Amino acid sequence: MTEVWNAYDLNRNQLPHLLVRGEKIPEGQFHLCVNVLVRHQDGDILFMRRSANKSIYPGYYEFGAGGSVLAGEDSQTAALRELEEETGLLPDSIRLLEQVCSVEDQCHFDFYEAVVSGDKNQVRYQAGETDAHLWLPPNEIPVFIESHPCFQNQKRILKKWIG
């Protein structure tokens, strides 16, 4: 099934046409993506490792879950969908942390924090997306993100929101 996204301008105004995953996004247009930082009620943060089979950034660590917002879907709904698809987790609460635009990626990013409770071993992997995970206490995150492959925008978010 082809993934279809709403198109946006630089200022996040929705445009009247759709974008299709895999097709070039026209200059000056953007799609919307979500990233969900998952915090366990004990304070630990979830890191998921991207599958070695991913065509871009295989083996990179990401906090929680993330992906593209589908056409007709709002950002928070997409965040909840991606979280369940990629980790199997259902949050006790979710809140928007920050919205940023990456002109080079032609993407608007919405960063959320989801708080979960229960057994940390309940995390499951989405085939082809992720192949490992770990929970880290906040004081171990700075060393981890400098010694493992992680996305720059997620490093910035972690430094801002974790300390």
Locate all alpha helices (DSSP H) within 13-129, ordered by sequence: 75-87
Distance CA 79, CA 69 (A): 8
**pLDDT beyond 70 at 100:** yes
Give, as one character, the DSSP assignment of residue 93: E
Name the phi and psi angles at 132, rounded to 5. -165, 160
The CATH number of domain 4-162, selected from 1.20.80.10, 3.90.79.10, 3.30.559.10, 2.60.40.10: 3.90.79.10
- Name the pLDDT band for 63 (thresholds 50, 70, 90): confident
* Cβ(80)–Cβ(93) below 8 Å: no
| Predicted confidence (pLDDT) per residue in 104-150, tens digit | 999 999 999 999 999 999 999 988 889 999 999 999 999 999 999 98
**pLDDT beyond 70 at 84:** yes
Angle at Cα 76 formed by Cα 112 and Cα 60, nearest 5°?
Answer: 45
pLDDT, average across residues 13-23: 96
Ranges of beta strands (E only) in 64-150 are: 65-68, 93-102, 107-116, 130-136
pLDDT, average across residues 32-52: 95
